[in-house]
Amino acid sequence: MMIPFGHALAFAAVLFVLGLTCVLLRRQILMILIGVEIMLNAASLVFVAASAYWQQVDGQIFSIMLMAITAAEVAVALAMVVYLWRRKRTLIADDFNGMRG
Amino acid sequence: MNESLLFLIPLMPLFCAVINMLFGMRLPRLFAEVMAVIGVASAFVLTVLFWGYAEGEGTRAVLFTWLNSGTVDVSFALNFDRLAAPMTLMVTGVATLIHLYAVGYMHKEDDYARFFSLLNLFVFAMLAIVLADNMLVLFLGWEGVGLCSYGLIGFWYRKLENAKAGTKAFLVTRVGDVFLGIALLWLFAVTGTLSISEINAQATSISSGVVLAVSLLLLLGACGKSAQLPLMTWLADAMAGPTPVSALIHAATMVTAGVYLLCRLFPLVSLSPVAMMAITAIGALTAIYAATCAMAQREIKRVLAYSTMSQVGYMFMAVGAGTVAGAMFHLLTHAFFKALLFMTAGCIIHLAGDENDIFKMGGLRRRGPVELFWIFLAGAVCLAGLPLTGGFFSKDGILLALFTHPDPTYKIFWLIGVVTALLTAFYTFRLVYLVFAGEYRGTGHPHSLPLLMRWPLWPLALLGLLGGLFNLPAFVGGGETLHHWYDDLAGRAVTASHEVEWMLVGLAVAIAALGWFAAHRRYRIYQAPTENAVTRFLLNGWYADALVDRLFVRPFTAMARFCSSGCDRSLFDGTLSILAKMASGWGSLLTQMTTGRLTTYLSTFAWGFLILLGWFLLKLVDGGGH
Amino acid sequence: MASLLFYILGFIMLAATLLCITRRNPVHAVIYLVVSFFALALMFYLLGAPLVAAFEVIVYAGAIMVLFLFIIMMLGLAPQETPEGPGWQRWLPLALLSASLMICTLLLILQDPAAGKPIGEFYLAPQVVGEALFGRYALAVEVVSFQLLFATIGAYMLGRPLPKGEDS
């Protein structure tokens, strides 16, 4: 593997920005969640690349942890999606403004 | 008998008051009434039984230590001495008769428990004043009678006027009480004790300036309670209370508390000639003021109220002239005949169908029980000072004391006293003629008179008529019993040649007769009341209320309004509300950021991320150098 | 060869992600995302992390994405999202600013001498990772397992039938 470390980071950065764009631009809650997943994967890529760069095991460990936590997050988030759908029959984020001050 | 049993005298009424207060409405009505009467009657009987204890130096009984702090040691103590004993006997005796009368008078009233418990509580407080060994117990009673007076004047509180009259009495007497409180504390500061006997004993060692100031403060305190100028406006309005209350509190007992206070501290007060002069002057001015007002009043109870003020003025004059015995003598006879007049007035109002206006009465001699007229007449001749009645002797004694006073200024007061006597005779017989003579002019239906309202009048009538026997002057062969009983407490001995005494008696007889004659001329045949500026002036009590309103109430209200709207509402509330508006403005600004929409939060999030990123970049550029 | 493969996979991943976030139909978006995750899994493998690569496929592409698909199909979500109208203009300043900053960041990363150093040959057997997980990081694993338990309970609570009257 003779690719520079910076290139791996650049891929991760672009991936992160794509995820962020998705979160900010999409209006459906499901798509916002997908954006979050993309951003988490970008973080995962940084961990693994760093692990290889410094020849350490910890980066990979953390990317595995990240996956477990993501699984938990997705479980709750999707349950919420179902709950919101049952309450309002819509998943457009801006339709929910019950917390308006 | 044990001397500590003396406490039963005030505590019996208190006990019955508490019983009535707690259980009065749950027990049969008869029980409440019997309790009330027993409370005062037992106090009366006890006073008679304990009479011997008062002789000599009197008996001091300590119930418990009230305050004990450093050098201050105030006991709840009573002092049953020669000055207190007759007063106690009078208060309990008259109160017993009035309680019996009240049972009859209030027999249709539903709220009897409150009435009787307040009445009994009043008797307790009054006895506390009379029997107090120290100024603090006296002050307790002093405030207690004020409280009961307030509660009883406004007894029918559902009518706003009554409640207002009660408040007025409370507030005006409170003004006097403040001065009394100051005097009390000043005396304590000077003598280091609150005991009345010790204060009197130390009186000569107090500097004369302090004696004068304290005496004037005591005088002002007495003025409040005794409705003397300038704190007299409340008494006429106090007639809003039930008639037994007027008879007991506002005629016989409470209003004389001021006189009693001055007599109690006479050894102190008499040290200052200026203070004595002030007392006499206040008494004289009140006497003539109230007498003129009484001439124009239309309501029977207000006539009697003003006459009470006037007669208490005589008592003040007596104290000022240095004769405690004379003051107490007039106090006792006045208590009898004035209570009698009020109770008879209650019967008259009953007979006239709850009509108060004497111009709508008339002819009551034939409408009611025949003895009512004679009983009222008995009270009236005492008040007018017709010869040989109790009021004649007591008033004559006061006038004699004023006339023979070494200071020639007192001749002026004597003259005022004489003129007042003339006016008194006139308005008294005006009352008699308007109420009893001629034809009935009212429209009311007479109520029946319960027996209990009729027979308590007899003992009072006898006491009033024969009251002179208590202190019959020497020149008519009397023994001056009361004077000898008081002995060293009696104040200045009034000595005059028999010629002067007979001359004054002749003058008094002539004046009483003149007053009767004038009233006879004017009111024997009914004429409608004249309405002009003078009568209006007198009817409204010289517009004293309006004057007080101008001088004190309105400036005070204006000040209060300035404090409330000027300071409090504009300045403080304004500042606070500006602050509050600022906070709420900021709040609503922040509220707009809280849209409750996910996108808003996410974009804010993104902006924050952007700023962080920019900062990192700047650091990188700075630190890296490439 | 491996380096070339890395770049190819990287661009496939970015392209698939771009397609994913622009789809109107959520099912299509999820499919593209699965593609992106496959490419990412291979990149992990190339970076010497076979275990993470396997988990990426099993957990992400397998479990999580399938869960997304289940939900989409269960709710019967049509491509109902209306195209962004004025929204674009609203995001424009943010987008421009972040894009320029992003480019600067990329340039700086690529210029950095440390970033220019190549990643050396590295391979971590799954056994080593497992030993580390259940050795040094045992406590963290326990904590994460609790988190999963709580998430399950939370999901169950949210999934209960609505009380009457709360349904719109």
pLDDT tens for each residue of B191-209: 888 888 888 888 888 888 8
Confidence (pLDDT) at C166: 58
Burial B220-233 (b: 16+ CB within 10 A, else e): bbbbbbbbbbbbbb
Nearest to B302 by CA among B313, B294, B290: B294
Q: What is the 3-state secondary structure (H, E, C) of B319-352?
A: HHCCEHHHHHHHHHHHHHHHHHHHHHHHHHHHHC
B590, pLDDT greater than 80:
yes
Inter-chain CB proximity B617 and C101 less than 8 Å: yes
Q: Comparing A65-74, B173-182, B480-489, B577-586, which segment has the lowest mean pLDDT?
A: B480-489
The CA dihedral of B283, B287, B289, B294, to the nearest 10 degrees, is 150
**Neighbours, chain B (3 or more CB pairs < 8 A):** A, C
Mean pLDDT, range B588-612, rounded to an integer: 82
3-state SS assignment for residue B447:
coil
Q: Where residue B477 falls among pLDDT bands split at 50, 70, 90?
A: low
For the domain C1-79, what is the CATH code? 1.20.120.1200
The predicted pLDDT at position B626 comes to: 47
**Inter-chain CB proximity B617 and C108 less than 8 Å:** yes
**pLDDT value of residue C17:** 93
In one-letter notation, the amino acid at residue B490 is A
The residues near A12 (Cβ < 8 Å, ≥ 6 apart) are A42, A43, A45, A46, A49
pLDDT at C85: 46
* Nearest of A42, A78, A79 to residue A63 by alpha carbon: A42
Q: What pLDDT is attached to residue C88?
A: 60
pLDDT, residue B403, reads 86
Q: pLDDT higher for B171 or B445? A: B171
> Smallest Cα–Cα separation from A32: which of A40, A46, A42, A22?
A22
Q: Do A72 and C21 touch (CB under 8 A)?
A: no
Highest mean pLDDT among B469-483, C35-49, C113-127: C35-49
**pLDDT at residue B601, as a whole number:** 82
**Which residue reads 């504390």 in tokens?**
B185
Q: What is the pLDDT of residues B364-375, one digit of tens each?
A: 777 777 788 888
Confidence (pLDDT) at C90? 65
**Is C142 within 8 Å of A64 (Cβ atoms)?**
no
| Average pLDDT rounded to a whole number, residues B85-93 | 89
Nearby residues of B58 by Cβ (< 8 Å), 6 or more positions away: B79, B80, B81, B82, B84, B85
A59 Cα to chain C: minimum distance (Å): 10
The Cα A67–Cα C23 span in angstroms is 25
Asked if the Cβ–Cβ distance from C18 to A51 is below 8 Å, we say: no
pLDDT at B526 over 50: yes
For residue C94, the chain B residues in CB contact (below 8 A) are 603, 606-607, 610
Higher pLDDT, B73 or C69: C69
CB contact under 8 A, A24 and B596: no
Residues of chain C contacting B620 with CB distance shorter than 8 Å: 108
Contact B436, B529 (CB under 8 A): no
pLDDT digits (tens, 9 = 90+) for B245-282: 888 888 888 888 889 998 888 888 888 888 888 999 99
Looking at residue C11, its pLDDT comes to 93
Higher-pLDDT residue of B413 and B361 is: B413
DSSP string for residues in chain C: -HHHHHHHHHHHHHHHHHHHHH-SSHHHHHHHHHHHHHHHHHHHHHTT-HHHHHHIIIIIIIIIHHHHHHHHHHHT--S-PPPPSTHHHHHHHHHHHHHHHHHHHHHHHHH-HHHHSBP------HHHHHHHHHTTTHHHHHHHHHHHHHHHHHHHHHHSPPPTT---
Query: What is this model's ipTM?
Result: 0.89
Q: What is the DSSP-derived secondary structure letter of residue B444? A: P
pLDDT bin (cut points 50, 70, 90) of residue B20 is confident
pLDDT category, C86, cuts 50, 70, 90? very low
CATH 1.10.287.3510 fits A9-88, yes or no: yes
Residue in B603, B613, B624 nearest the CB of C101: B613
Distance separating alpha carbons of residues B113 and B97, to the nearest angstrom: 18
Distance (Å, whole) CA B178 – CA B185: 11
- Look at A97 and B592 and tell me if their CB atoms are within 8 Å: no
What are the residue boundaries of the structural domains of chain C, listed by start? Answer: 1-79, 125-162
In chain A, where the domains are located: 9-88
Please determine, for residue B463, whether its predicted confidence score (pLDDT) is greater than 80: yes
Q: Is the pLDDT of residue C34 over 90?
A: yes
pLDDT band at C82 (very low <50, low <70, confident <90, very high): low
**pLDDT tens, B287-311?**
999 888 888 888 888 888 899 999 9
Pull the structure tokens for residue B522. Answer: 């004017």
Among B607, B617, B626, the residue with its CB nearest the CB of C94 is B607
pLDDT (tens digit per residue) in A68-85: 999 999 999 999 998 888
